[in-house]
Structure 1
């Protein structure tokens, strides 16, 4: 299942996403962690040193490789140069799975051991000097969106994405790629402002949004969050000596995390599992196609010189059963899985 952590800058979303990743790994679940924040701190939160974190390969720097691999033998895609961040898979495309080994993971992921439990970590990469003043950060997260569009995940498999702060993720279709979005909010007016904005933007897209109250100090804080976000409040997290030690670079074994916070993390996992159980693959694919057609008309056709609506494979629906029909090279066998057909381009 695919899970996003969002929130106001300074809310603690990277810390909570790293704790959740550690929790999943401790439960021996397969995990891919993705740092998609403009401020790249997830690696450090997972225990990497400054130089190690800075040395993580950038997804954006490997975009040509990613496109070439995912394109596979899909006849609707003339060349990797015509692929954009929203290009959907079809018959002949290569799909990614959580647990496999493939050239994309080999180039773009690093395996970390968290108390002996393996986690794959990927990062979009930070702004470089060449980007300043001329590039938008969403060009960086485009590689994440393309990978998620081609990733078939199953139950008890987790892809956890630490998103950029605020509501910037709405500048692309990336916000629709998740089974559940955990919005980390402090018990303050500023803390819940991003929640209201996110809730409004996500209203028409069937987004499962759950609020995680962070830095909660007592009943008054809990009541404030309940009044402000209502039934969207899933769980609250308070002070943690374990986290304080981790932020100083001296974390104890994860099993020593406070019991109340371990229970909160389990609540997050239960919510994610429940949301995945209700995933509508037809709708998931339809949203993918919708944003692709929108981006194609807005800028993609002009940039690539091609009619990108032709990349949509009518009747193709991304679904976990496709994993059973993936050929040795990772390609989807020619017969598409016919369920609720994806909309055809006009």
Structure 2
């Protein structure tokens, strides 16, 4: 199950991402957490030291190797250099699975333990000095989109992505790659404005969007969120001494989180599991193809000198039972 956290900068989406990751890992589920925000804080929010977080491998840096692995023996893709962030899988491509071992995870993931529960942590990587003035951050986030296009995940296993703030998520097709998107909103006009913008942009793409209130202080805040986001509100987190201690680097065990906030995490978990019934692999594949053709025409063909529409395998539909990876030796 693929989960995104979005919201206004400072709304607490990294905090909510890390809490749900902790909750899922504590439940014994296979979990991959991905920091895809330009401000890379998910690692430290999960309890890593600043030094450990700084040593995380960058998916953006390893994009050529990621492409080479995913390309596999797909005859429609001449070489890794001709792959772009939207290139869809086809016959002969290698697929990723959440609980497996593979060269992509070996390069880009770190096995970490939170409250004694194991999980994989990945990060797009911060801007490097050579990026400044010549690249946009979406060139790094493209590694996440490419991996999600090749991910054959199933129920009971989870990939959680802490996304870029605001409406930046719409700069690529990445926003369509999730079973459920949680928008974190403070009970303020600014907090809710991002929700309205996101809902408007997502309306034509069948995005499953739910709102999680954060920094809620009293019932008036809850009433405000209900008035402004309606049935999309799934729950809320109140002021939390646990979160404050975590922000100070003194995070206690998740079981010590305030009971009301723990209940909200259970609601999010249940909503994610329930969203599985709405999954449509054919539509998911059609959307990735649509964004690929759009990107190919807009810039990809010119950049690669090829007609990237030829990369589309019209007979391929991604799914849990796809066995494309098994036909290609690792």
1:113-172 CA distance string (max 9 Å, x none):
011111100000011111111111110100000000001100011000000000101010
Partner Cα distance (2:42, 2:213) in 1: 20
Moved over 4 A (4+): 328-331
Contact 1:94/1:330 (8 A) holds in 2: no
Matched length: 330
1:282 match: 282
Q: Match of 1:66, SS?
A: helix
1:55-70, aligned counterparts within 5 Å?
55-70=55-70
Once the two structures are TM-superposed, the CA of residue 330 in structure 1 deviates from its matched residue by 6.2
State the SS of the aligned residue for 1:167. Answer: helix
Correspondence for 2:185: 185
Shift in Å, 1:277: 2.0
Matches of 1:330 and 1:40, distance apart in 2 = 34
Q: Which residue of 1 aligns with 2:118?
A: 118
**Which residue matches 1:230?**
230
Question: Gaps (5+ residues) in structure 1?
Answer: 332-346
Q: Is 2:325 the counterpart of 1:322?
A: no
Q: Contact conserved, 2:92 with 2:327, CA < 8 A, in 1?
A: no
- Corresponding residue number in structure 2 for 1:2: 2
Change (3 A) 1:4 1:330: farther
Residue aligning to 1:339:
none
What is the CA deviation profile of residues 50-88 of structure 1, one whole-angstrom value per residue up to 9, with x for unaligned ones? 111011000010011100000000000011110000000
Q: What pairs with 1:226-305 in structure 2 (closer than 5 Å)? A: 226-305=226-305
Deviations 1:85-113 (Å, cap 9, x if unpaired)? 00000000000000000000000000110
Match runs of 1:1-346 below 5 Å? 1-323=1-323, 326-327=325-326, 329=328
Q: Gapped runs of 5+ residues in structure 2? A: none
Aligned residues of 1:77 and 1:83 also touching (Cα < 8 A):
yes
Asked if structure 2 preserves the Cα contact closer than 8 Å seen for 1:95 and 1:330, the reply is no
Structure 2 length-normalised TM: 0.98
1:329 CA displacement: 4.6
